[in-house]
Amino acid sequence: MVTIKVKAEQPTMETTDPKTGAKVKLEKVFITPQLAEQHGLSKDEYSLLLKNLGRKPNLVELGMFAAMWSEHCSYKSTRVWLKTLPTTAPWVIQGPGENAGVIDIGDGQAAVFKIESHNKPSWIEPFNGSATGVGGILRDVFTMGARPIANLNALRFGDPKHPRTKTVIEGVVAGIGSYGNCVGIPTVGGEVNFHPAYNGNPMVNAMTVGIADSDKIFYAKAAGVGNPVVYVGAKTGRDGIHGATMSSAGFNDDWEKKRPTVQVGDPFMEKLLLEACLELMATDAVVAIQDMGAAGLTSSSVEMASRGDMGIELILDNVPCREPGMTAYEMMLSESQERMLIILKPGREDLARKIFEKWDLDFAVIGKLTDTKQIILKHHGQVVAEIPTGAIADSAPMYERDWVVATRRPEIAINDLPAADPAEALRKIMTCPDMASKRWIYEQYDSMVMANTVFGPGQADAAVVRIEGTAKALAMTTDCSPRYCLAHPFIGGAQAVAESYRNLCAVGAKPLAWTNNLNFGNPERREVMGQIVGAIGGLRNAGEALNYPVVSGNVSLYNETEAKAILPTPVIGGVGVLADASKAMSSHFKKSGDSIVLLGKTAGWMGCTLYLREVFGREEGSPPPVDLLAEKKYGEFVRNLILDGKINACHDVSDGGIAAALVEMGWLPRGKILGCSVTAPKDIALNAWLFGEDQGRYIITTSNVDAVIYAAAQSGIVATVIGQTGGEGLAVNGQDIASLPQLREANDNWLPQYMNG
């Protein structure tokens, strides 16, 4: 039995402001288990808090513990499983645990990248929710010393028929576009899906990729007793208080009352902060630096002190505030945007101050590092919080929650389905919300700013951005098939990693590493926890088999409304490198008369396909199996073909199968069209061949088919010549099944008509 000595509540009800001499009233709050529960702490967690602290907390301390121990900040339901993921490789400089992951891309350069969610804020306040999601992920990257070169996003919206879907799309897209465009970072790729499971809880995952010198990476590890703690950036307001705890709980019908928990961003301030931080980092003044993201000043100060095994003392009177009378509780929990916490070397304060004042940003020395291993906060001459660093940072609960294994659904065979006209089936697939053109969305994003974008949205299987001053380029992509993950989380998780690997290979890039955004429902429900465990297992297997580690990520749980969970959505953000940007391969046909070659085996897998869903209204079956060894073998083969200049176009076969891939390849840039004629094999049902979603396949075009087939035979690759480019339609076995201009018009028009409807 543990005996806890409980100190009395702080008796002081009034003090004197040391700056002004004015009397300041202190609110006395009686801390109860019920109040702790209102802060998101369970009874057991509150008991653990009391044990760690050795007494009752005051209100400030309670708020800090609640924020740091929230699911959003502590990953208490997933840490035990995340530790199983592959995170190392010779090119990994920094894996999970810092603001962003870092990989070596040669020539003394590093790529720095991460993906994060802003899901719930984007339902409550779509514009600000998505905009601040972009701002937060940008800061995670440039706080490592990297200059951001590209943004991507992965968006999931509810049923188009839901009364709020259109409003959410409009606000989210405007927020992403406004923030990225104003900061001047191109938005070069992403994905957009629709499903009723996201009604009331859309997914807004934002990714940023940056470039830094590999020997000039900055970390958030405090060091040096007495070193000054500096606050820079925007002033602190009352927006975003309890943002972290709000994001760690499900929604009910009271979601509108949570608007104050959504932050408000200022992209112009972000641009100033970016330039000021990079200028300061070019000096020798910085010891450690941390973005004030979720949980604001609490998380940034606690995490830096914890990583350095230090104590930290803050004078909250020095915190720049934009609203009068802010309390210590409000200052520590505010999630106001565009702020950083920096540990400077002694004597560098004036140098740093001049830089931030030049950029018209607030600069304030608000504390110092200590050897006490205590978090001590002072306000109006009073100690308002005193917490052992380890008690709050290193002792957060970690759960091994009960879970149930997701059973694999029975497979669906083409013979179990009624006959369907292939032309009508193709039309339904290519005009459904998931497959419809997203031009209305991405044209609101500036994809060409900085003038280094080789392939932006809609041009290739992955975005490609040239690294300025070099011949190299980075390829990047976001991928996930939630319907596969729902049917079988393990297979779905492995497929998401394999899909990102495949998309990078399809443009000629060598896949190096990935970041993940694990979006799930309530982990306290055994079936949801089973989805999490299964998906992470799939991610692990794929990462290990492909020699493709994870270096950063984010977990977003409790994504549900009225106890209805989203589809399991483990988004993968993959990054690869091309030694020669001029060799990057797009997905579009290039000229008439090229041979079309299908790489990979086709069995006609029907389970979980868009064909099954869009033509027959059935979300059934088992997802297509993923052969990870074949994925690696075929990916390397495709990359070599591209680098050797043997092919003219490359597109992976995914949603909608071979037919959808051929149509997309025939939709050339600037509205041009180039069709094709293909011959289907006789040993498989036509619609199974056209629309099956067997994994690990690519369609390539070539002017030298004999060389490609010979190379495939030498490498043990299944390569089948299926047709030739030409015309303006898609002909199969001599029969036209689509007019590409007409189909493109219908595909282009769905989203604009919906948004204008």
For the chain, count helices (H), then strands (E).
25, 30
How far apart are alpha carbons 725 and 741 in whole angstroms? 15
Burial tier of 434 (Cβ tally within 10 Å: 0-12, 13-18, 19+)? middle
Nearest C-alpha neighbor of 647 from the set 711, 690, 714, 696: 711
Tokens of 726: 């030409």
Instruction: Return the percent helix, strand and coil in the chain, to nearest 5.
Output: 35, 25, 40
CA distances from 202 to 122, 149, 249, 569, 655 (A): 7, 26, 15, 11, 21
Question: In this structure, are residues 110 and 212 in contact, taking their beta carbons and an 8 Å threshold?
Answer: yes
Largest Cα–Cα separation, the chain: 91
Nearest to 740 by CA among 425, 422, 426, 420: 426
In angstroms, rounded to a whole number, what is the distance separating the alpha carbons of residues 679 and 14? Answer: 85
Q: Sign of torsion, CA 173 176 182 187?
A: negative
Q: Which of 715, 686, 751, 142 is nearest to 440 (CA)?
A: 751
DSSP string, 642-695: HHTT--SEEEE--TTHHHHHHHHHHB-GGG-B--EEE---TTS-HHHHHH---S
Beta carbons within 8 Å of 124's beta carbon, 6+ residues apart: 255, 256, 258, 259, 261, 262
CA nearest to 557, candidates 132, 73, 152:
73
Q: Both tokens of residue 569?
A: 């959505």
Determine contact, residues 355/276, Cβ cutoff 8 Å.
yes
- E strands, 297-359, are 311-315, 339-344
Plot region of 553 (φ>0 → left; ψ -120 to 50 → alpha; else → beta) = left
CA-based nearest residue to 500, from 465, 475, 467: 475
Active site members: 72, 118
* Measured CA angle at 667 (ends 664, 670), to 5 deg: 140
User: What is the SS3 assignment for 364?
Assistant: strand
Q: State CA 42 to chain mean position distance.
A: 28
Return the structure tokens found at 576. Answer: 């690869």
Q: What angle do CA 258, 517, 36 make, to 5 degrees?
A: 40
For residue 558, give Cα distances in angstroms to 55, 71, 157, 242, 563. 31, 9, 17, 15, 9
3-state secondary structure of 593: coil
The length of the chain in residues reads 757
270-299 b/e (C-beta count within 10 Å ≥ 16 → b): bbbbbbbbeebbeeebbbbbbbbbbbbbbb
The whole-angstrom separation of Cα 177 and Cα 444 is 6
Pairing of strands 311-315, 374-379: parallel
| Cβ atoms 342, 286 nearer than 8 A | yes
CB atoms within 10 A of CB 450: 17
Q: Would you say 109 and 101 are in contact if contact means Cβ atoms under 8 Å apart?
A: no
Judged by DSSP in three states, 224 sits in coil
